[in-house]
C-alpha cells in the first residue's frame, strides 16, 4: 500500500500542474489541476484517503474521487448512455458526479498503485471520450454496461 | 474486461486518417458493386429479350464513367445509394435518329404494364434511367459502334430543340485510365491497415478468410481515392439550393485531368490537394469553343468531355472557387491542431454529415483501441497525442497509463 506522502511525491513528479490543495489529515490529500485531452481545459479535483489496514472498506469505496469542477459536465439524457456516461452520483453535490475510471470488481486499481500512474491518465482518457460524446452523441470509450433498476437509478453489474 | 486490439497499427497523420475514413464511408461496398453489376446485366438482357423493340440489337453492355474507373461513390451516403452508368452498344446505323433510339430504348425497358421495370424508367437527353426500389439508379446510354479505335461509337442526344450525334469512347477512356493511374503498394497497406484498426475485430475475422483475388483499385491508388473525395465535395456543394439547376462538373472530366497531376503523393491529404490543384490549373485554360476549358478523351480525341460543362466562364470560375475552398480547408485539416468539434465541422462542410460522423467515430474507436492496448499517448495537461505526433512524445516520464482500465459507473460513492 502506498502512503499518502508517496502519492504526493509521485504526483509532484509526474503531474506538476496538479497542485496539492489540502491535507485534512495525515492519510488524505486533495489535488486540483487542469486536464485538456482534446482542446478544452477541464479543472479537475482528485481526493484520496489512504485506508487504515484494519478498515473494512471495499475497493469501490476506497478509490480516488475524481470530479470535474469547471466547466461543469453537460447532461444530455438523449445521448447514448446519457445523461452522463460512466459516473457515480455525488449526493453532496449532484452537479459534480465522480468519474468512473476503472472496474473495482475487476480489481483494476489498488491501494498499491500510484494515482499519478493510473487515475490521472484514466481521467484524461475519460475526458477525451466525453468530448467525443459531446460531438457524436455516442460513447466510444468502452466500458461495462450498467443495469438500471425499476426507478431508473443505475447500478453496477457484477463483473 | 476490455480485449486489447492486436494491430496492425499503421503510422499515418490524423488528417490522412480522417480522409481515409471519409473515403471508406463514401465508397461502394463489394456487395453494392456486385448488386450493381447484376442489375445492369439483367437490364441489358431485358432490352434484348424476345418481343423487345431492340431484340437482337444489343451487341454489348459495360460500365462506363466512375464505375469503370473505380472512382464511383455513393450518391446518398446515409442510404448507401449509388448511380451506375452503363453503355449499351446497339447494332443500329450511327446516323439513326436520336429521338427514335432513345424512345425505343425507353419502350424496351419500360415494357408492358406489370412488367419488371414498368414505371421505373425515365428518358433523358442521352440515356434512359432505371430507378430501383432502394433508390439506386442505372443510366443506360445507347451508342452505335463506329469504325475507329476499339469500341468507338456515336451517342444519341435528343431533347426539345436539340438532336445530334456525338463521337464517344467510354470504354477506351476507362481502359486508358486504369492503365495509366498510379498505384502505390505502400498506400494500399496503410489504407487497409487503417480499416482494420477502425473495425478492430476485422483482423481476427480476416485471418480465417482467404485473401481476395482482386484488390479493388480504390484500395490501391491514392489518386483514385483523392478523386472520390473531390467528387464527394462537389456533390455536397451541389446540394445548395442555388446550384439546383446547374450542371455539375462531370466526373470523367475530373478523372482525365487527374491523370496529368504528376506523381502520386504518399499522403492522401497531399494527394487530394495536388489533384485539386491540377484541376484548378487546367481551369485556367479558356481555349474551348465557349471560351471555357476543353478536356478531350485521351483515348479518342474526337470525344470532347467538356461539350456540356462548363456552360460558360461563370460556371468554370464557380468550380474553381469550390476547389480553392477545398484546398484551404484541407490545409487546415493537415496543419492545425483541431479539436474534435472543429474537425467534425470541417469534415461535415466538405464531405457531408454521414461521412463526417463516421470519420469522427472511427477516430474515437481507434483511440479506444490504443487505450485498451496501453498505446494511448498522453502528453502534458493530459493531452491525448494522436497520429504521427504520438510517436515522438517524450516530455513526461510516463506517457501511457500503467495499465488499461474498464469504465464502469452507476450508483453513488460515499463522500
Interface predicted TM-score (ipTM): 0.91
Report, as an integer, the average pLDDT of B168-194: 92
Q: Which residue has the cell 451516403?
A: B77
Please state, in angstroms and rounded to a whole number, the distance separating the CA atoms of residues B387 and B260.
31
Range B92-100 average pLDDT: 96
pLDDT of B41-69, one tens digit each?
999 999 999 999 999 999 999 999 888 88
CATH number of B14-25+183-368: 1.10.1410
% of chain B with per-residue pLDDT over 90: 69
Query: By CA distance, what is B353's nearest residue in A?
Result: A136
The ranges of chain B annotated as CATH 3.30.460.10 are: 27-177
Instruction: pLDDT band for B25, please (50, 70, 90 cuts).
Output: very high
Determine the average pLDDT of the residues in B330-342.
97
Query: CA torsion angle for B281, B283, B288, B290 (degrees, to 10)?
Result: -160
Query: Is the pLDDT reported for residue B205 higher than 70?
Result: no
Cα of B168 to nearest chain A Cα, Å:
46
H-helix segments, A1-111: 4-14, 59-62
The answer to whether residue B97 scores a pLDDT higher than 70 is yes
Q: Give me the pLDDT at residue B391, please.
A: 61
Mean pLDDT rounded to a whole number for chain B: 89
Alpha-carbon gap: B83 to the closest alpha carbon of chain A (Å): 29
CB A98 within 8 A of CB A65: yes
Q: Which of B14, B397, B407, B412 to mutate to test the interface with A (most CBs of A within 10 A)?
A: B407
Q: Report chain A residues whose CB lies below 8 A from the CB of B409.
A: 85-88, 100, 143-144, 146, 154, 156
Query: pLDDT category, A59, cuts 50, 70, 90?
Result: confident
A51 touches chain B (CB under 8 A): no
Question: Which is higher by pLDDT, B73 or A56?
Answer: B73
User: What per-residue confidence (pLDDT) applies to B284?
Assistant: 96
Q: Is the minimum CB–CB distance between A79 and chain B shorter than 8 Å?
A: no
CA distance A63 to B189: 44
What pLDDT, on a 0 to 100 scale, did the predictor assign at position A56? Answer: 79
CA atoms within 13 A on the CB side of B226: 34
For the stretch A83-141, pLDDT in tens is 999 999 998 999 999 999 999 988 999 999 999 999 999 999 999 999 999 999 999 99
Q: How many Cα atoms sit within 13 Å of B116 on the Cβ side? A: 12
CB pair distance less than 8 Å for B397 and A14: yes
At a CB cut-off of 8 Å and minimum separation 6, what does B237 contact? B243, B322
Task: Give me the domain span that covers residue A95.
Answer: 4-155
Say if residue B76's pLDDT is above 50: yes
Q: Of B340, B401, B408, which has the smallest distance from its Cβ to A121's Cβ?
A: B401
A residues 83-122 closer than 8 Å to B (CB): 85-92, 98, 100-106, 108-109, 113-114, 117-118, 120-122
Residue B29 is predicted with a pLDDT of: 80
Q: Closest Cα partner for B169 from B308, B306, B309, B297?
A: B297
CB pairs under 8 A between A and B: 168
- The segment(s) of chain B belonging to CATH 1.10.1410 are 14-25+183-368
Q: Kindly list the residues from chain B whose CB atom is less than 8 angstroms away from the CB atom of residue A142.
A: 2, 368, 371-372, 406-407
What is the pLDDT at residue B200? 81
**Among B303, B36, B17, B359, residue whose Cα is nearest residue B146:** B303
* Mean pLDDT computed over every residue of chain A: 89
Q: Averaged over B280-298, what is the pLDDT?
A: 96
Q: Are A107 and B335 in contact (CB under 8 A)?
A: no
State mean pLDDT over A57-67. 92
What are A119's three cell numbers? 487515475
Instruction: Look at residue A154 in the predicted model and tell me its pLDDT.
Output: 44
Say whether B410 and A146 touch across the interface (CB within 8 A). yes
Task: Give the whole-angstrom CA distance, residue B45 versus residue B79.
Answer: 28
CA distance A100 to A123: 9
Domain B27-177 architecture: 2-Layer Sandwich (3.30)
pLDDT level of residue A74 (50, 70, 90 thresholds): very high
**Percent of chain B having pLDDT more than 70?**
92
Kindly give, in sequence order, each residue whose CB lies less than 8 Å from that of residue B211, ignoring residues fewer than 6 positions away.
Answer: none
Is residue B410 over pLDDT 80?
Answer: no
Inter-chain CB proximity B396 and A14 less than 8 Å? yes
**What confidence tens digit (pLDDT) does each residue in B241-254 have?**
999 899 999 999 99
In this structure, how many other beta carbons lie within 10 angstroms of the beta carbon of residue B207? 7
Q: Number of folded domains in chain A?
A: 1
Question: What residues in B contact A156, CB-CB < 8 Å?
Answer: 408-411
Query: Following DSSP, what letter does each residue of B220-242 receive, concatenated?
Result: T-HHHHHHHHHHHHHHHHTTSGG
pLDDT at residue B179 is higher than 90: yes
Angle between helices B98-110 and B30-47 (to 10 degrees): 110
For residue range B128-163, what is the model confidence (pLDDT) as tens digits? 999 998 888 999 999 999 987 788 999 999 998 899
- Interval B362-407: pLDDT, tens: 999 999 999 999 899 999 899 999 877 666 555 445 688 888 888 8
- Residue B214 confidence (pLDDT): 46
Which B positions 305-324 lie with beta carbon below 8 A of chain A? none
Rounded to whole angstroms, how far apart are CA atoms B302 and A81?
61
As a whole number, mean pLDDT of residues B98-120 equals 95
Q: Which of A124, A129, A156 sits opposite B411 (nearest CB)?
A: A156
What pLDDT score was predicted for residue B415? 73
Distance in Å, alpha carbon of B409 to nearest chain A alpha carbon:
4
> Among B90, B167, B92, which residue's Cα sits nearest to residue B128?
B90
What mean pLDDT is predicted for residues B350-361?
97
Q: Is the pLDDT of residue A18 over 50?
A: yes
Q: What is the torsional sign of CA B407, B25, B345, B269? A: positive
Local confidence band at B213 (pLDDT 50, 70, 90 cut-offs): very low
Grouping H, G, I as helix, E, B as strand and the rest as coil, residue B21 is: helix
Name the residue of chain A whose CA is nearest to B365's CA.
Answer: A140
Give the pLDDT score at B404. Answer: 87
* Yes or no, beta carbons of B410 and A140 under 8 Å apart: no
For the stretch B221-276, pLDDT in tens is 999 999 999 999 999 999 999 998 999 999 999 999 999 999 999 899 999 999 99
Q: Which three cell numbers stand for residue B120?
A: 421505373
Per-residue pLDDT band at A78 (split at 50, 70, 90): very high
Query: Mean of the pLDDT values across residues A43-54?
Result: 92
Q: Indicate left, alpha or beta for B75 from its phi (over 0: left) and psi (-120 to 50: alpha).
A: alpha
Picking from B364, B408, B409, the nearest residue to A136 by CB comes out as B364
Q: Alpha-carbon distance B369 to B383, whole Å?
A: 17
Suggest the residue from A11, A111, A122, A149 to mutate for an interface test with chain B (most B CBs closer than 10 A): A122
Residue B123 has pLDDT above 80, yes or no: yes
- A40–B411: do the CB atoms touch at under 8 Å? no
Task: Identify which of B143, B174, B155, B130 has the alpha carbon closest to the alpha carbon of residue B36.
Answer: B130
> Which of A34, A102, A118 minimises the CB distance to B408?
A102
Amino acid at each position: 500500500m502506498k502512503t499518502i506522502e508517496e502519492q504526493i511525491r509521485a504526483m509532484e513528479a509526474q503531474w506538476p500542474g496538479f497542485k496539492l490543495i489540502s491535507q485534512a489529515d495525515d492519510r488524505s490529500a486533495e489535488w486540483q489541476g487542469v486536464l485538456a485531452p482534446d482542446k478544452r481545459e477541464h479543472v479537475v479535483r482528485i481526493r484520496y484517503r489512504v485506508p487504515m489496514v484494519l478498515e473494512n472498506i471495499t475497493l469501490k469505496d476506497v478509490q480516488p474521487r475524481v470530479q470535474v469542477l469547471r466547466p461543469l459536465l453537460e447532461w444530455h439524457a438523449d445521448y447514448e448512455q446519457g445523461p452522463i456516461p460512466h459516473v457515480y452520483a455525488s449526493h453532496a453535490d449532484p452537479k459534480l458526479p465522480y468519474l468512473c475510471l476503472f472496474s473495482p470488481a475487476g480489481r483494476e486499481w489498488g491501494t498499491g498503485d500510484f494515482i499519478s500512474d493510473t487515475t490521472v491518465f484514466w481521467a484524461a482518457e475519460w475526458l477525451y471520450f466525453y468530448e467525443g460524446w459531446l460531438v457524436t452523441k455516442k460513447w466510444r470509450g468502452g466500458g461495462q454496461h450498467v443495469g438500471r433498476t425499476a426507478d431508473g437509478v443505475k447500478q453496477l453489474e457484477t463483473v | 474486461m476490455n480485449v486489447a486490439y492486436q494491430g496492425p497499427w499503421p503510422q499515418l497523420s490524423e488528417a490522412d486518417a480522417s480522409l481515409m475514413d471519409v473515403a471508406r464511408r463514401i465508397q461502394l461496398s463489394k456487395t453494392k458493386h456486385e448488386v450493381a453489376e447484376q442489375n445492369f446485366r439483367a437490364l441489358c438482357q431485358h432490352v434484348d429479350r424476345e418481343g423487345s423493340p431492340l431484340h437482337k440489337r444489343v451487341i454489348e453492355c459495360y460500365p462506363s464513367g466512375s464505375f469503370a474507373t473505380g472512382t464511383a461513390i455513393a450518391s446518398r451516403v446515409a442510404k448507401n445509394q449509388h448511380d451506375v452508368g452503363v453503355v449499351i452498344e446497339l447494332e443500329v446505323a450511327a446516323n439513326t435518329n436520336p429521338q427514335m433510339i432513345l424512345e425505343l430504348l425507353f419502350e424496351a425497358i419500360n415494357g408492358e404494364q406489370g412488367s419488371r421495370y414498368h414505371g421505373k424508367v425515365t428518358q433523358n437527353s442521352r440515356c434512359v434511367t432505371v430507378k430501383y426500389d432502394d433508390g439506386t439508379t442505372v443510366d443506360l446510354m445507347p451508342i452505335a459502334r463506329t469504325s475507329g479505335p476499339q469500341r468507338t461509337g456515336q451517342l444519341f442526344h435528343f431533347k426539345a430543340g436539340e438532336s445530334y450525334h456525338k463521337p464517344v469512347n467510354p470504354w477506351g477512356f476507362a481502359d486508358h485510365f486504369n492503365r495509366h493511374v498510379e498505384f502505390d503498394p505502400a498506400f494500399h497497406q496503410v489504407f487497409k491497415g487503417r480499416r482494420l484498426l477502425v473495425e478492430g475485430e476485422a483482423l481476427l475475422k480476416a485471418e480465417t478468410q482467404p485473401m481476395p483475388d482482386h484488390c479493388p483499385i480504390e484500395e490501391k491508388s491514392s489518386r483514385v481515392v483523392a478523386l472520390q473525395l473531390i467528387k464527394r465535395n462537389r456533390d455536397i456543394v451541389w446540394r445548395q439550393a442555388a446550384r439546383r439547376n446547374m450542371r455539375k462538373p462531370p466526373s470523367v472530366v475530373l478523372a482525365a485531368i487527374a491523370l496529368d497531376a504528376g506523381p502520386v503523393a504518399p499522403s492522401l491529404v497531399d494527394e487530394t490537394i495536388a489533384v485539386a490543384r491540377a484541376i484548378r490549373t487546367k481551369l485556367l485554360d479558356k481555349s474551348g469553343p465557349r471560351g471555357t476549358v476543353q478536356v478531350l478523351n485521351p483515348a479518342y480525341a474526337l470525344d470532347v468531355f467538356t461539350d456540356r460543362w462548363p456552360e460558360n466562364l461563370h460556371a468554370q470560375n464557380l468550380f474553381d472557387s469550390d476547389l480553392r475552398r477545398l484546398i484551404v480547408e484541407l490545409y487546415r485539416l493537415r496543419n492545425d491542431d483541431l479539436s474534435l468539434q472543429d474537425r467534425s465541422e470541417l469534415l461535415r462542410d466538405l464531405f457531408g454529415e454521414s461521412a463526417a460522423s463516421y470519420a469522427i467515430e472511427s477516430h474515437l474507436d481507434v483511440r479506444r483501441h490504443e487505450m485498451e492496448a496501453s498505446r494511448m499517448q498522453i502528453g502534458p495537461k493530459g493531452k491525448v497525442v494522436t497520429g504521427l505526433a504520438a510517436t515522438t512524445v517524450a516530455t513526461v516520464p510516463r506517457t501511457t497509463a500503467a495499465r488499461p482500465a474498464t469504465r464502469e459507473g452507476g450508483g453513488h460513492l460515499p463522500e
